[in-house]
Structure formats: structure tokens, C-alpha cells
Structure 1
Amino acid sequence: MRYDCVIIGGGPAGLNAALVLGRARRSVALIDGNKPRNAVTHASHGFITRDGVTPTEFRTIAANELLRYPTIDHLQAEVSSVEKVDAGFEVRDSSGFVYKARKVILATGVSEIFPKIEGFYSFYGKSLFVCPYCDGWEHRDQPLVIVSESPHVFHYAKTIYNWSKDLVVCTNGHALLDDEQKEKLEAKGIKIMEQAVSSFLGQSGQLEKVRFKNGTEIKRRAGFVMSEMVPNIQLVENLGCEKEQSGTLKTDDFGRTSIKDLYIAGDASYVNPSQLIFAAADGSRTAAAVNMDLTEEDF
């Protein structure tokens, strides 16, 4: 079967793109490897009508809504390659099955790279987090630690200060703050520790202490760790897409890449903050562009 559009990735961007195209009576294959980045998250926040929804519940609700539209095939498979052909694309999964498509939307999200600190994954998603907009409210006014190896740590700390005034900023052995920034943070009562972090300590996912390599320990109840986000664009790099200096794919305002009929949506485009509501909105916008382009070609 030849589809109007194959969507690679079943997160909020891919799901919402499928919904919009299904409602536009387009034939769609939504191919989902079922490896959501937010699987460790206890709940997602900031999405009106779905505040506090678990990732599993969100995906289940979305999948059930897609069942209303007979032109959508929601398939669980791992995509292994994407090839450009005269009539569009051939998308191959790990079993060797080939899906033919006029258009492709890449909605594969990002991979996160965290500082290598012992114990991190025992607390990630339970008492250590990335996004203060997603988890700040639940840990308001608690003693928090901020760990970052990024030059953006100053802005990160200022943002998290909205939720708690009891903050310790750890730069994990890196000199990331200039004197003026240090003065501003310290004037707000924010402690700065530039020593390398050895480990996170606690029980059953609840952070209790942060230990430094010099033997110092501080008591903390929860925290935020900045990650490096790398767009998952490996599947289409062989197509020769133009890139930005940041390494993301160059697109127009509707997710069209430099390769005709190839689009990108959601966190993989790395244009918006990495939040569920932004990814879903981006999927909707990109799907509208796909439908518009199909309409112009066929009319």
C-alpha cells in the first residue's frame, strides 16, 4: 500500500500529526517503536485537560482516538531506513517490510545526554528532573539542587528560583559562572558549588544527599539536572538534508526540510521547549502543511 504520509515516531508530535491527517481523510501509517523518552516520568504537566496524565495514559487515550479514523494505520515497528525515490519515499522497518509514502514526517524526538554521576538514574523521574515547568510545582519550596555543565546554568537557576528559594547550584567541576552572575545568585541566597559531583544518595527513588568528590555532602530533597538534547535525525541524514549550525535540520516555519516531501515535527526539530504541549502543537502544524501540499499537488 502507498500512503499519503508515513509518520515515524509515536510521541505527542507524531500522534497529533496522525490525528490531523486522519481527519483530513489522508492515508497515514504511524510507525511507533514504543520507546518514549518520557517513560520514566510519573506524570506530564502543563497540557490543559491532561495536567497530571501519565505518559502511558496519554498514549492510550491518543491511540483510542486515532481508531475513529479508518485511514490511519497505527503500527508498532522500528524503522531502519528511509530512502528517497521518484514517487516519494520507501520506509523500511527492522523486519524488512517496506512502506511507500508520498510524504514523510520525522517525529522521532531527542536523546538526552546527562552528566555522568553515580546514582542519577535511580532518582531520575522520581526526585531528579529536567524541566521545572513540568515538575517544579510538585517540589515547590523544597531544598533543591541544580546540576549543570552548561553555560546556560545561570538562566536555569533563575528560572527554578520561581519554585524554591532554597537552591544549591552545582557546576560539576566546571567554571560556568562569571563574577557578576555569582554575585547575583549569592545575593538571592543561592549557594554555588563548583566541585565535581561524585554521586546522588537516597532510597527508593527519593533523593537525600549529594556527595562531591572531595567528600563534602549536602542534604537535598529533589533537584534538576540539565541535559544535552540531541535530535534523533539519524534516519534521514543519508538524504543530504541541510542543517543549521546547531546540527538540527533546517526547516521552514511548517517543518518542511530541504528535501522535498520530508518534514520534521516535535522535539526532533528542537525549535521549541521540550514539552508535551509544544510537541503536540508542532505535530498539528506540520500535518496541516503536509495536507496543504498534498492538496496543491492533487487539485
Structure 2
Amino acid sequence: MRTDSERKDVVIIGGGPAGLSAALMLGRARKKVLLCDGGSPRNSAAEGIHGFVTRDGIPPKEFRRIAHEELQPYGVEILTDTRVTAVERLDTGFQVVLAGGRTVESRRVLLATGMVDEPPDLPGYRDLWGTSIFQCPYCHGWEVRDRPFGLLVTNEHLLDFAAFLTGWSRDVVAFTHGAVNVSAEQRQRLERAGVRLETQKIRRLIPGAKNGDHRAHLEAVELEDGTRVARDVLFAHPPQRQTELVQRLGVALDEQGFVRINEHLETSIPGVHAAGDLTTRIQGASMAAAAGTMAAAMMNHALNMENAGAGVHPRG
């Protein structure tokens, strides 16, 4: 016989801002919630989370610590460093299988797994990720404002992004790495914006020390002919993919590879919802948290109406 702790209203897979916000909302709504945090946050290399009101600049680990404390009064069960290996459909909902063999039955599931970044095979890139290489100027642009920027242009749409970056720095170089053909019209637009264009392939990214910081920081971008372009910051949008769990679930994806959701933030599998970075290219902690809250509200509404129809009322 299953214990009550093994039957949940919602299992949340992912312990970032989306999952934590959903857990808070559902816990306060008197739902039995299990939050599974795999322990490998995408923002672990970042010094701080920015643009999150009342928490601007907070280190990711501290953000999670405070969130876990705030969930305690609401009886949310939190499993850290715990992967979910499978989600299986049951007549009454879902069976969630955890690494180690534990299984939990749940009426609904929320995917808040984020995305997996796939960094390019470019010497120096991995060591500089999170210290000098960033995806989002809203998240990190203020801290590096007015410094020499670079942008790794992997498709023609990012050429406009180079002009966009001039809102944070007037010194921007767009590196096409020999992979993008730039039209005369695009060159003129970049020139008007004050963006310099470098079309050679990049040989490597050169790190250097900064103000006694033990971490590596970008010093220059070395091109294939040996030219070094001094840069402090490089913006890049590496390819992303869904986690293996999401891929195995088989939820429908859009043309960009993000999970399709409806107005209730429900995926193509009824009862499985999704929130945060895995559903959109507009990624950031505050946006993910908002999506998690919205998904929780949608799930809670459905659960309450099911309970009311069956004459079931919360206990405790």
C-alpha cells in the first residue's frame, strides 16, 4: 500500500525560479507538492540573478536557499540532487520515477526543467561562460556597461541583436565566425549603429586575470589570421535542446524546439504542464518565475474543481 507521502497533487520537475514559484503557489493553495531539483542549475556560473525585484544581484545558491525556507510552512517536499528518470501515465494521473527507484503517484506534473545549452567547440568558451560570456543583456548588461562588447553571430537574425546591444555599450563588434553571409544592406545598418563587423573565423578566446579574481575573464578574441580583437565581454546564443526526460516524454515541440503549451500552460499531454525556459526563447529568472506562478494557478484551479465535483475537501 502506498503511503500518503507517495501520493501528490503535483510533482514539479525542476528547482529553478519557475519550479520554486509554482511550489510556493501550490503549497499556499493546500496542495500536496513534491519538488524535484536535479542539482545542475543553468545559471550556476553566474555571479548573481538580476532583474528580479527585491532579489536583484542575489547569488543563485542563495536564491534557492531562501526559496526552500519559504516553502517549509506549506509542507512542500523538496528533493535536492534528485533526477526524475520517467513519467508514466496512470488511470488516476501519473507515476513519477525518481533516480534510485522511488516512485510517486501524482495527479498532475509540471515540467520546469529549463533547457540544456550546447556550447560551441571554441577554445576558451567553456572557461569564460558566465564570467565574460553571457546570453542576456537584461541579466548582465548593466554590470558590463560601456565596456568593449563582442557578439558571436551564428545566424543573420543576430546581426540586428548586435545593433540592439549598443543600448549598453557603444563599442560593439559582431563576429560572424565565417558562418554568416552579410548583405550590403545589413553592413550599412551595422555601420549606422556603430557596430564593427569581423567576418573571419575565430581561432580562440583568450582569457586573462581581472582585479585579483581567480576566475578567467575575456581579454581578446583571436581571429584565424592571428589578429587579436580586445574585448571584455562576449554575448552568445548557443544552441539549446530539451532535457532527456522531456524528449522521452514526447510532448509536442514548436519549430524552434520549445515545448508547446496552451493558454493553461498545458502541454500536448493532458495533465502535464510546462513553465519557464523550456517553453520560450525569452528566458530569465523573473519571466520563468511568473510562468511558474501562472502554471500553478491553472493546475490548482483544475484540481479544486475536480475535488469539488467529487466532494473532496483538503485536510490539515
- TM > 0.5 fold call: yes
Partner of residue 83 from structure 2, selected from 78, 81, 94 = 78
Aligned with 2:123: secondary structure? coil
Q: 1:248 aligns with which of 258, 264, 269?
A: 258
Q: Cα offset for 1:235?
A: 1.8
Offset at residue 102 of structure 1 (A)? 0.5
Cα deviation, residue 161, structure 1: 0.7
The counterpart of 2:287, out of the listed 262, 274, 278, is 278
Structure 2 match to 1:293? 302
Do the aligned residues in 2 keep the contact of 1:231 with 1:269 (CA within 8 Å)?
Answer: no
- Cα-to-partner distance string for 1:135-184 (whole Å, 9 max, x where unaligned): 11111111111112123212211221100111110011112432211111
Matches of 1:126 and 1:238, distance apart in 2: 33
Confirm or deny: 8 A CA contact 2:119 2:126 kept in the other structure. Answer: no
Give a deviation string over 1:263-283, Cα, whole Å, max 9, x none. 11111112x511000000000
Matched, 1:138 2:143: yes
Instruction: Report the more deviating stretch, 114-123 or 132-141.
Output: 114-123
Kindly state the Cα deviation for residue 4 of structure 1 after the two structures are TM-superposed: 0.3
Write the distance in 2 (CA, Å) between the matches of 1:229 and 1:290. Answer: 27
1:164 aligns with 2:174: no
* Structure 1 residue runs of 4 or more that deviate by more than 6 Å after TM superposition: none
The partner residue of 2:273 within 250, 260, 263 is: 263
Q: Which amino acid aligns with 1:138?
A: E
CA distance in 1, matches of 2:297, 2:79: 22
User: Is the 2:163–2:195 Cα contact (8 Å) retained in structure 1?
Assistant: no
Q: 3-state SS of the aligned residue for 1:256?
A: coil
2:3 maps to none
Aligned residue for 1:212? 223
Cα pair 1:6 1:103 within 8 Å, conserved:
yes
> How many Å apart are 1:247 and its aligned residue?
2.8
Q: TM-score, normalised by structure 1?
A: 0.95
Structure 1's 240 and 174: CA in aligned 2 closer, same or farther, altered over 3 A? Answer: closer
CA change 1:149–1:53 in 2 (3 A) is same
Q: What is aligned with 2:239?
A: 228
Deviation at 1:240, TM superposition (A): 4.2
Offset, 1:59 = 0.6
Structure 2 CA distance for partners of 1:73 and 1:145, relative to 1, 3 Å: same
Superposition pairs of residues 177-188 of structure 1, within 5 angstroms: 177-188=182-193
Residue aligned with 2:74, SS: coil
Q: CA deviation at 1:239?
A: 4.3
Question: CA shift at 1:214, angstroms?
Answer: 1.9
Shift of 1:238: 4.2
Cα 1:100/1:176, change in 2 over 3 Å: farther
Code of the residue aligned with 1:35 in structure 2: it is: S
Q: What amino acid is the match of 1:180?
A: E
Change (3 A) 1:183 1:222: same
Answer whether contact 1:84 1:239 (CA < 8 A) is retained: no
User: Superposition pairs for residues 188-199 of structure 1, below 5 Å?
Assistant: 188-199=193-204
Structure 1 residue 213 displacement after superposition: 1.5
Which residue does 2:110 correspond to in 1?
Answer: 105
* Structure 2 contact 178–199 (Cα < 8 Å) conserved: yes
Letter in 1 for 2:79: L
- Aligned identity (percent) is 39
Match of 1:30 among 35, 40, 44: 35
Q: Distance in 2 between matches of 1:65 and 1:170?
A: 44
What's the TM-score, normalizing by structure 2? 0.90
Q: Deviations over 1:239-261 (max 9, x none)?
A: 44333233333211221112111
Tell me what 2:123 maps to: 118
The CA RMSD over aligned residues, in Å, is: 1.4
Partner of 1:2: 7
Is residue 84–residue 98 contact of structure 2 (8 Å, CA) maintained in 1? yes
Give 3-state SS (helix, strand or coil) of 2:39's partner.
coil
Change in Cα spacing, 1:137 to 1:176, as seen in structure 2 (3 Å) is farther
Does 2:74 correspond to 1:93?
no
In the alignment, the residues of structure 1 paired with residue 261 and residue 246 of structure 2 have an alpha-carbon distance, to the nearest angstrom, of 14
Taking the aligned partners of 1:111 and 1:244, their CA distance within structure 2 comes to 16
Paired residues of 1:149 and 1:176 also in contact (CA < 8 A): no
The 3-state SS of whatever aligns with 2:79 is: strand
